[in-house]
Structure 1
């Protein structure tokens, strides 16, 4: 659980067009807001079920793996569904001059079922925001804005990309197979993932799978895995000050010397140099 955390930096809202107002997660109880909330809200349901009653709409259920975006100042009420002992709800509120534009593009007031990979990624970004604000307070002002923007842009991209990929893969099947491969990579990026095993799992020969993957994502499967590991390592270094390089390498499933070499090749500096900056 991430205890409710109000961003002290919200008072600096005139500096950036998008900022974090509050963030957290908890076992949600009944909450009535007849005047709405002063910031736009993004909810993620991790477990249990709950009911949202938004002004002018019927009751809507949020179940595990769903997301809801609620504009500012819209009267609403939400509470655990009947018979539910625990309803775990994650949330982040955001505001700024560009916030309404994001809300308009993303759609709002209707729970959206997310695929498992996307939900896991968004929950990770939510935790990252909470840890950033919890540890750094006002010093995290600019970085929190960047991460909030990244989170919203990630959702927008996920809503758009399936349609674009469908045009490229008219038959549909390659797209499904590659999506399964991507899910496997995100779930097991810190393990020893062999190209042969990935290809076999999604039903392709090594050569055909490699060719399809490069055609769709512009990199080989191994390069994609490496990118995921590097992004996750950056997140670990940022979220856990004082963590050792050896520990980060271990959590990425890499030998320390190899991890340092790949990190430097990717970011132009060693992990220690990154930490110092």
Structure 2
């Protein structure tokens, strides 16, 4: 037992490696009243989530009062300290993180050097992720797999924090963000599936949207209807394939989602002002 804590548990990664996101260690503790860490600096990211009680976190000379559901971030090289309340000392869970993507993913989750505290998340939900991370390190014969498991649970933890940070925003803003996301998802779907026999109703249904709502939102944000956008993607890809001069016109047609090469040629002429063969012959590598 750690003498400064009523309860203290930790799991250590024996094979951290050098990935884009790695957990170095993770733990949970219930420090005694007034227990203080720092002033100090770390060379890794360290997040704490308060599960119960209260305390104060200090970063870059600014103090933050934290309670259950609040998460605070220590960034590499930043001077920090934190102290448990003397009457209702906090219980918290933590995870130390490193990796090329750590800063970006933490910011997506709602915490950064500039904004080191995220308030008001669900401590019970977050607790379960910390528990999973910590218990990934069982000192099995396969520590590299333990590291992989822990980083997976960490991503889910960051996802939950990210949802909490966005729930704090304006309801109207969140609605607009959701519509923007739906349109981006549809654009991505079309760019990946243009070679299939796609219909607008099918696209809307596959993504869980009503066709009329989907079409209106899509045109408002792109200036094109979904049908026009699909045709643009197909024609742009057809140009690319024609320029390569590797495939026949029939093969280009089927590669961009047209079963009928004559219909493809008609649509290409309408879109580009010349037939596929004319476009190909006029293109010089």
Call closer, same or farther: CA 1:62–1:103 in 2, change over 3 Å: same
Aligned residues between the structures? 167
Call closer, same or farther: CA 1:107–1:83 in 2, change over 3 Å: same
Are positions 1:77 and 2:81 aligned together?
yes
Are positions 1:91 and 2:97 aligned together?
no
Report which of the two has the higher share of helix. 1
Query: Which deviations, in whole Å up to 9, do the C-alpha atoms of 1:209-268 show, x marking residues without a partner?
Result: xxxxxxxx96xxxxxxxxxxxxxxxxxxxxxxxxxxxxxxxxxxxxxxxxxxxxxxxxxx
How far residue 110 of structure 1 moved from its aligned partner, in angstroms, is 4.2
> Scaled by the length of structure 2, what TM-score is found?
0.50
Call closer, same or farther: CA 1:54–1:162 in 2, change over 3 Å: closer
Query: Which deviations, in whole Å up to 9, do the C-alpha atoms of 1:130-184 show, x marking residues without a partner?
Result: 11113547131212222212221332234336758645869xxxxxxxxxxxxxx
**1:33 is matched with which residue: 20, 38, 46?**
38
| Aligned residue runs from structure 1 range 4-15, under 5 A | 4-10=10-16, 12=17, 14=18
Asked if the contact 2:120/2:164 (under 8 Å) is kept, the reply is no
**2:49 is matched with which residue: 23, 44, 63?**
44
Runs of 5+ unmatched residues, structure 2: 1-6, 177-206, 209-285
Call closer, same or farther: CA 1:161–1:111 in 2, change over 3 Å: closer
Asked if the contact 1:39/1:72 (under 8 Å) is kept, the reply is yes
Call closer, same or farther: CA 1:134–1:62 in 2, change over 3 Å: farther
Query: Which deviations, in whole Å up to 9, do the C-alpha atoms of 1:86-126 show, x marking residues without a partner?
Result: 4211111111000011233323354332243xx32211111
CA RMSD of aligned residues (A): 3.1
Runs of 5+ unmatched residues, structure 1: 171-216, 219-277
> Secondary structure at the residue paired with 1:134?
coil
Matches of 2:60 and 2:97, distance apart in 1: 20
> Secondary structure at the residue paired with 1:43?
strand
